[in-house]
Structure formats: structure tokens, C-alpha cells
Amino acid sequence: MSPREAADRLFNRIMTAEEQGNKPEVLQFAPMAIQAYERVEIMDADAYFHVGLIHAATGDFNMVRKQVEILKKLSPGHLLGLILEHDTAEQSGDGDAAAKASAAFAAAYDLEITTERPEYQAHRNSIEKFRTETATQ
């Protein structure tokens, strides 16, 4: 198993635990997953998104913001970065920043989605769910 495969397996375990409301398992496996991603030689946007989601699951919003900045450097209108930015702002109680990220997502969506980035394909359900939810706000 490659370092990326190991990291992704831990990521999936954490996301499943979070969906089930199993915070102890999230907190138990998050450090292992972060370390596993640190061993990945070439990090791509999908990996940075995963790391951001792991930090979000543990409540470490400063580290989520770091992943957002990396994604923005890769592409200023990166949809997954904007989703992370919105969710972090919302969970931090910053409604203005959440609205700004939501508006940036809406403005970037049509162009970005045509790029067919692999991470957009992998997280298509999350992207479309976010688009639907924020369109009604």
C-alpha cells in the first residue's frame, strides 16, 4: 500500500466516524491521518482538501485555513477550497466570511467545473450538495 493509499484509508475512516457522530474515533485517528499525509511525496489538491477536512473534524480551524490558502494558491477559485473556507467561517461564527466564500463559489463554479479536475470528480456529490444548499441562502 502506498503512503497515499494509507492516508486516504485513514481519511475515509475519519469521515465515516464523523458522519456517525463518533468523535472519539475521529480524534483517535486524525493524528495518524495527518502524519500519513505528511509522508505523501506529492500532495495534490485532493490531498490538501482531505487534510483540511480532517482538521475541520477535529475543530482545528487554523490548520483548515492553511489548507484553504494552499488550495487558493493552486487555483484562486478552487471549489473545494471555497467549500472549506465557507464551512470554517460558518463554524467560527463569521457569517460575513461565509457569505463571501459562498458568493465566490457561485462565481467560480461554471468555469471551474469545466476544468474536470480529478478532485472535482472525486468529490462531485459534496460540490453539488454545497452548490444546492448555498443557492437557497
Q: What are the domain boundaries of the chain?
A: 3-135
Residue pLDDT, tens place only, 33-81: 999 999 999 999 999 999 999 999 999 999 999 999 999 999 999 999 9
Residue pLDDT, tens place only, 81-99: 999 999 999 999 999 999 9
Sign of torsion over alpha carbons 72, 77, 78, 82:
positive
Give the CA distances from residue 9 to residues 5, 33, 136, in Å, rounded to whole numbers and listed in that order.
6, 8, 34
pLDDT of amino acid 137: 62
Q: At the top level of CATH, which class does the domain 3-135 belong to?
A: mainly alpha
Contact between 45 and 35 under an 8 Å Cβ cutoff? The reply is no
Q: What is the mean pLDDT of residues 100-113?
A: 96
